């Protein structure tokens, strides 16, 4: 059985787009690699932050739905996304994030790794994790980042989800997606694909006493898992179909997608590694202008009128 190969991207709901850009590009120093729109709600941006090349597995994306209420925490939601940084980098990141007023937790050790939990300006749960694997994984540094190359975010490290009951969800992880249980740390179980490592983790915890969670500003919308190509995607989709209700394959232009809710309610996606973000923009110019898939080009004028302007991230000039 070919498993998924790790996280492809994580998509969350943010507040105002400019504030989102200021934090992720200006403070975290990630590159805006695609400035597009939510293809199901074209009056809303879809902003993609990643390494310099937009490599699969480095990509954190946002729908700026600032009109929504805050989320309702609870089971059936992904509660946190973790980002990999090199060993020793938290000594840099703690003071930098504090200087910009980020809401920081205390550094803790999770599954043997130093971890700094925090919240972005709109309440999204993040964690920076010092990972030995961060220095060996596929990563293209962004030379124009306000963060030094040796401290830059290397990509997605993992995610956390809370479930009312684990059995049905972990069955899907194992039988359909190819995950295996690797370790436990308190209430959390760590599942991974392949040999594990940065970018392959999913931490799950049972929370039977919590209410059902609900999306809002600062919530994770979905977790997308990598598949190599359309054939691999259909192979995994067929296994998912025995345990959940996947959509047909949807062409997102930069990748192909299949969506489904796992048994506990968390929205998952199967996303192909290609064609990639450079299919319609020169690699050196990624994210500089609004890019639409071909089927939305006829609506460009109306879409541009509906979207707020975006300026260069405000904190980008501040010395690290």
* All residues at 6 or more sequence positions from 200 whose CB lies less than 8 Å from its CB, including other chains: 5, 6, 7, 158, 192, 193, 194
90 pLDDT exceeds 70? yes
E strand intervals along 216-288 = 220-227, 250-251, 256-261, 267-272
Amino acid 136: pLDDT: 77
Out of 13-17, 48-52, 135-139, 267-271, which region has the weakest mean confidence (pLDDT)?
135-139
The mean pLDDT of 268-278, rounded to a whole number, is 98
- Domain membership of residue 22 (yes or no) is yes
Identify the band that residue 320 occupies on the pLDDT scale cut at 50, 70 and 90.
very low
Place of tokens 């020793």: 88
- Domain membership of residue 169 (yes or no) is yes
The mean pLDDT of 89-113, rounded to a whole number, is 97
Amino acid 135: pLDDT: 76
Decide if 315 contacts 145 (C-beta within 8 A): no
Give the domain CATH number at 136: 3.10.180.10
Amino acid 319: pLDDT: 42
- Domain membership of residue 158 (yes or no) is yes
B/e letters for 283-313, b = 16+ CB within 10 Å, e = fewer, are eeebbeeebbeeebeeeeeebeeebeebeeb
Decide if 294 contacts 248 (C-beta within 8 A): no
Q: What tens digit of pLDDT does each residue of 253-265 get?
A: 999 999 999 999 9
Which run of H or E residues covers position 157? Answer: strand 155-163
Decide if 304 contacts 259 (C-beta within 8 A): no
| Helices marked H in the chain | 17-21, 90-99, 167-172, 230-240, 300-306
The mean pLDDT of 175-187, rounded to a whole number, is 98
Identify the band that residue 148 occupies on the pLDDT scale cut at 50, 70 and 90.
very high
107 pLDDT exceeds 50? yes
Which run of H or E residues covers position 88? Answer: none
Decide if 272 contacts 231 (C-beta within 8 A): no
CA-CA distance, 259 to 246, in Å (whole number)?
Answer: 6
- Domain membership of residue 303 (yes or no) is yes
pTM of the prediction? 0.97
The parent domain of residue 206 ranges over 7-317
Q: Side by side, which strands form the sheet with 267-272?
A: 31-38, 41-50, 59-64, 7-14, 220-227, 267-272, 256-261, 250-251
Decide if 111 contacts 189 (C-beta within 8 A): no
- Domain membership of residue 2 (yes or no) is no
Decide if 12 contacts 220 (C-beta within 8 A): yes
Number of structural domains (the chain) is 1
User: What letter does residue 212 receive in the DSSP assignment?
Assistant: B
Give phi and psi for 14, each to the nearest 5: -120, 175
- Domain membership of residue 161 (yes or no) is yes
CA-CA distance, 277 to 36, in Å (whole number)?
Answer: 11
Amino acid 133: pLDDT: 85
Tokens of 88: 């020793």
- Domain membership of residue 1 (yes or no) is no
Q: What tens digit of pLDDT does each residue of 191-220 get?
A: 999 989 999 999 999 999 999 999 999 999
Averaged pLDDT score across all residues of the chain? 96
Identify the band that residue 170 occupies on the pLDDT scale cut at 50, 70 and 90.
very high
Query: What is the percent of the chain where pLDDT is above 70?
Result: 98
317 pLDDT exceeds 70? no
């Amino acid at each position: 059985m070919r498993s998924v190969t790790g996280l492809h991207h994580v998509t969350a709901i943010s507040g105002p787009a400019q504030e989102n850009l200021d934090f992720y590009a200006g403070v975290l120093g990630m590159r805006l690699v695609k400035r597009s729109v939510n293809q199901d709600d074209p009056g809303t941006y879809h902003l993609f932050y990643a390494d310099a090349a937009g490599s699969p597995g480095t990509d954190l994306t946002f729908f700026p739905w600032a009109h929504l209420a805050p989320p309702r925490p609870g089971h059936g939601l992904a509660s946190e996304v973790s980002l990999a940084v090199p060993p020793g980098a938290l000594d840099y990141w703690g003071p930098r994030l504090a200087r910009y007023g980020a809401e920081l937790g205390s550094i803790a050790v999770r599954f043997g790794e130093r971890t700094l939990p925090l919240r972005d300006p709109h309440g999204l749960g993040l964690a920076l994790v010092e990972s030995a694997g961060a220095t060996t994984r596929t990563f293209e540094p962004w030379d124009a980042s306000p963060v030094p190359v040796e401290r830059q975010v290397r990509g997605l490290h993992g995610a956390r989800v809370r479930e009312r009951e684990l059995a049905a969800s972990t069955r899907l992880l194992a039988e359909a997606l190819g995950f295996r249980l690797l370790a436990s740390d308190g209430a959390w179980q760590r599942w991974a694909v392949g040999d594990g490592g940065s970018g392959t983790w999913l931490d799950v915890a049972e929370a039977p006493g919590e209410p059902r969670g609900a999306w809002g500003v600062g919530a994770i919308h979905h977790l997308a898992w990598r598949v190599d190509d359309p054939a691999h995607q259909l192979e995994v989709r067929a296994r998912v179909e025995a345990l959940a209700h996947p959509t047909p394959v949807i062409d997102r232009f930069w990748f192909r997608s299949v969506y489904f809710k796992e048994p506990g309610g968390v929205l998952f996606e199967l996303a192909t590694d290609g064609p990639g973000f450079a299919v319609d923009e020169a690699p050196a110019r990624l994210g500089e202008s609004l890019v639409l898939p071909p089927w939305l080009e006829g609506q460009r004028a109306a879409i541009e009128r509906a979207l707020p302007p975006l300026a260069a991230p405000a904190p980008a000039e501040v010395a690290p």
